[in-house]
Chains A and B, each alone.
Chain A
């Protein structure tokens, strides 16, 4: 109770401070403008244009290099291998050859246009950007996936070894941190959704995707390497996860599951017979369920990152107008970013749980015995 009231007090304090800053910063700006009215405006216009949208998209999409920091015109980033097959030839080189996306290599360069922005392209005869036939480069997200997968294997194999070493004893250390989560997934997700008899078959998959999503949601919040890659906010990654759920659901579907789709019980016959409306809806449901899984996770995580980056962008947008205004807004923006970060921490757990729970529910629906 004491802690709670302390937190409440802190929140009100921060809130008041933010409000005060919001009120006082226009005054600050006015003062600034009085001193060097036109000069500042000219400067801001003349300075290199800052496009918040481009910056945000750049930060949450995949990249051929792992950008760490830029100071002025010096960009510090880790070059990653670019591997692709195009026009009957395999290409292999490090992404450093692009000079941070500013140069072409062998006619291939990183696009800055619309749909293919951030992707490797070449120009065809008419000046259209086209993608190579097979691009399997180890991009930032691929490397981040490898890192997180390695981390997962390391964590859980060491935990498994602790279990073997401390047979029948109370959990300890990392083991006692993951055990409640594992038991929660087993009892409240797998057992509750699939049933006592069949849950064991699906448990390894559910545990793996839960911890994969959770770990990467959390790593995505960390802004520096090895975090900072937006894995669970990438449609490709969430698509693969949803595809696995789809494949497992479809292959474990029993007779009553398919019968339910073709001939849903409890539905008036005229919804099925002349025009098979319900079967069409049910059939679509098979595909929409994993599709929604994919979009939900992707959208939730990306949205959180976009909001945080948006708040940060505000600092620079206002900073371009007047430096003092930038500082004023910075306090508000950082405050809101911290709030969003905490929210994302919550979302990281919720989304991992939701994805796993829904996957388990679909498996349960596919294996349910009707009588």
Chain B
């Protein structure tokens, strides 16, 4: 029966000890421990969130990079396409220009040739006329050495004139 007969002194001392320990530990142990734990937990939480954010940012950055690369590629393709077009155009233009130039040259050459030809013909005509005159002069001189012949010839000429 003495087992369930607690000593009064023990109860009093236990109360005092428990109260003292409760207040001492509350102030000097539990409070700093709880604060430290909370702080650390918040720290860990914040770091995790920051890491996640960084990860997201990295992902965005990668996406951006890809987009940039794609854009750059497209731009390059466009530039290339345009260059090719310009090249073709230049070649085309050059071709047409060259052909027209050639045509011009041929034309002017033809004209020149025609011109030269006519000039040459005129000159030949002149030379021939001159030669004919001199030959005719010489012939006439030979023919008309004597007076009879001169008269004969005048008559012929006159006859011809009459016919006209």
Residues of A within 8 A of B (CB): 57, 60-62, 83-84, 114-119, 134-139, 141-142, 145-146, 149, 152-153, 156-157, 159-160, 163-164, 167-168, 179, 182-183, 186, 200, 203-205, 207-208, 212, 234-237, 239-241, 244, 302
Contacts and interface: CB of A to CB of B under 8 A. Distances in A.
Interface string B15-43: 10110111011101111111011011001
B-side binding surface: helix, strand, loop or mixed? helix
Choose among B8, B20, B26, B33 the residue with the greatest number of A CB atoms under 10 Å from its CB. Answer: B33
A163 B3 contact: no
A208 B26 CA distance: 8
A21 to B, nearest CB: 32
A187 to B, nearest CB: 10
Contacts of B34: 186, 200, 203
Contact of A135 (B9, B28, B39): B9
Contacts of B163: none
B56 to A, nearest CB: 25
Contact of B8 (A135, A153, A203, A241): A135
A115 B104 CA distance: 144
Interface of B: 1-15, 17-18, 20-22, 24-26, 28-34, 36-37, 39-40, 43
12 contacts: A118-B2, A136-B9, A136-B13, A149-B20, A159-B33, A160-B32, A163-B32, A183-B37, A204-B22, A208-B26, A236-B7, A237-B11
A114 B25 contact: no
A302 B39 contact: no
Contacts of A212: 18, 21
A182 B15 CA distance: 23
A156 B29 contact: yes
B82 to A, nearest CB: 60
Nearest to B19: A244
A349 B74 CA distance: 71
Contacts of A136: 8-9, 12-13
Given A134-B8, A137-B9, 6 more contacts: A136-B13, A142-B13, A156-B25, A160-B36, A205-B22, A237-B10
A60 B6 CA distance: 12
A189 to B, nearest CB: 14
Contacts of A62: 7, 10
A205 B13 CA distance: 18
A164 B29 CA distance: 10
Which are the 8 A-B pairs with shortest beta-carbon distances? A236-B6, A156-B29, A163-B36, A117-B2, A136-B9, A204-B26, A160-B32, A142-B13
A239 B32 contact: no
B81 to A, nearest CB: 59
Nearest to B5: A115
Contact of A119 (B7, B22, B24, B30): B7
A61 to B, nearest CB: 6
A167 B5 CA distance: 48
Nearest to A64: B7
Given A208-B21, A240-B11, A114 B30 contact: no
Contacts of A208: 18, 21-22, 25-26, 30
A119 B2 CA distance: 9
A186 to B, nearest CB: 8
Nearest to B20: A149
A142 B9 CA distance: 8
A54 to B, nearest CB: 10
Contacts of A179: 37
Contacts of B21: 149, 152-153, 208, 212
Contacts of B17: 145-146, 149
Contact of B2 (A114, A139, A200, A239): A114
B25 A152 contact: yes
A252 to B, nearest CB: 15
Contact of B13 (A60, A145, A207): A145
Contact of B3 (A60, A160, A168, A203): A60
A299 B4 CA distance: 10
A236 B3 CA distance: 10
B6 A239 contact: yes
B2 A116 contact: yes
